[in-house]
């Protein structure tokens, strides 16, 4: 083992003198280190079951089901933070995480509902440079679906009587996220 450590620490010019057995040992050590780093990075993600529990809790906190409406904003902010953390750390690819349609619908409902509530109460949490960039990044890596934003943005535009053509941060966000004004659903509101 000492010989292996000495060989690793040697000048790069001497690597040609490392025998085949030592090279295999080095390769094995590197492989083990890579596996450990991969395992530790995977532990930061939630399982499908854990994600489902998060979405169930979010759906339970819907405004119509709240027993304490005065805590409404606090609950919506908590829900948003949880969804944002999921997006940041593992993305939100609902179809691949859940096999049952009812679980997919539950998750999508929780996401849309939370984004809608946040756009109603504190739109700057979604319509800010950092969040816009986060969503852009996740859309590019296919770890987020722009459909989660279409209904909430439709409600936002409708309730705030925003007329086309859109301007400012809303226009920039929609352009970056690949959402056209024509995709927003006014008639269903």
**Domain definitions of the chain by residue range:** 2-42, 48-183
What tens-digit pLDDT sequence spans the chain (189 residues)?
Answer: 444 444 545 544 444 555 566 555 555 565 565 554 444 444 456 677 777 777 788 777 766 556 666 777 888 888 899 889 888 887 776 666 666 788 778 888 888 999 999 999 899 999 999 999 999 999 999 988 999 999 999 999 999 898 878 899 999 999 999 999 999 876 545
User: 19 in the Ramachandran plot: left (φ > 0), alpha (ψ -120 to 50) or beta?
Assistant: beta
Q: What is the pLDDT of residues 85-134, one digit of tens each?
A: 888 887 776 666 666 788 778 888 888 999 999 999 899 999 999 999 99
Identify the three-state secondary structure at position 162. coil
Q: How many residues does the chain have?
A: 189
Is residue 134 exposed (0-12), middle (13-18) or buried (19+ Cβ within 10 Å)?
A: middle
pLDDT at 140: 93
Rg (CA), the chain: 24
What is the pLDDT at residue 25? 56
Whether pTM exceeds 0.75: no
pLDDT for 62: 67
Residue 157 CB neighbours (<10 A): 21
Which pLDDT score, from 0 to 100, does residue 137 have? Answer: 94
Classify the C-alpha dihedral 17-22-26-27 as positive or negative: positive
Predicted local confidence at residue 101, as pLDDT: 80
With CA atoms as reference, report the closest residue to 26 among 14, 39, 15, 37.
15
Residue 148 makes CB contacts below 8 A (sequence gap 6+) with 92, 108, 111, 112, 115
Contacts of 121 (CB under 8 A, 6+ apart): 73, 76
């Amino acid at each position: 083992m000492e010989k292996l450590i000495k060989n690793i620490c040697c000048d790069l010019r001497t690597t040609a003198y490392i025998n085949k057995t030592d090279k295999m040992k080095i390769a094995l050590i590197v492989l083990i280190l890579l596996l450990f780093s991969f395992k530790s990075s995977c532990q930061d993600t939630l399982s499908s079951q854990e994600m489902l529990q998060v979405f169930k809790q979010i759906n339970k906190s819907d405004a119509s089901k709240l027993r304490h409406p005065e805590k409404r904003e606090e609950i919506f902010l908590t829900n948003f933070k949880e969804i944002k953390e999921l997006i940041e750390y593992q993305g939100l690819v609902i179809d691949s995480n859940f096999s049952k349609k009812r679980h997919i619908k539950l998750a999508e409902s929780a996401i849309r509902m939370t984004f809608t509530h946040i756009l109603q109460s504190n739109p700057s949490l979604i319509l800010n440079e950092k969040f816009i960039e986060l969503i852009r990044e996740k859309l590019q890596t296919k770890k987020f679906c722009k459909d989660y934003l279409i209904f909430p943005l439709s409600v936002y535009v409708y309730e705030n009587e925003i007329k086309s053509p859109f301007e400012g941060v809303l226009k920039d966000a929609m352009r970056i996220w690949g959402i056209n004004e024509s995709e927003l659903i006014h008639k269903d509101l």
